[in-house]
Amino acid sequence: MMPVEEIKQIVDYGILGFLFFLSFLTVAFGIERWLFYKSVKLENYRHIKALELDLSKHLGLLASIGTNAPYIGLLGTVLAIILTFYIIGHLHSDIDPGKIMEHLALALKATAAGLVVAIPATAIYNALLTKVDRLLGEWEILRDEGKLRS
């Protein structure tokens, strides 16, 4: 079995570090997509599928981050709770209930971090998806009016 300190390091640096990385990706791709949407020239697209492909780039990743970040955080919490029970099981002296509660409270930080990543990722994804739908609608209006490049 893994030593207690290794499990603690996995939770503190592995899980939380990975969640921090996912939050960085969320912000980076959110900004990149928003800037692209502001600069896209709809009249340069002859086919709607080509426009959809360009507009939807990286949106799947944002959706996956928003969906899976809570599970990654929950994994960290479960590992930390297992660690707490392991520590309790190996203490043969007086067990301080305050110390146990402190360990359990700290275990929840991974779930909180997962939610802190997931909520903005989902909001950014939904905002970008709304913009994609709007741009596709605008392209169809241009097409119907005959304003697209042949």
What pLDDT was estimated at residue 2? 61
What does the pLDDT look like over 119-141, one tens digit per residue? Answer: 999 999 999 999 999 999 999 99
The pTM is what? Answer: 0.86
The SS3 call for residue 79 is: helix
Mean pLDDT over each residue of the chain, to the nearest integer: 90
Q: What's the whole-number mean pLDDT along residues 6-13?
A: 76
Within 8 A by CB and 6+ apart from 77, the residues are 107, 108, 109, 110, 111
In angstroms, the CA 98 to CA 96 distance is 5
What pLDDT was estimated at residue 32? 98
Domain ranges of the chain: 4-144
Confidence of residue 103 (pLDDT cuts 50, 70, 90): confident
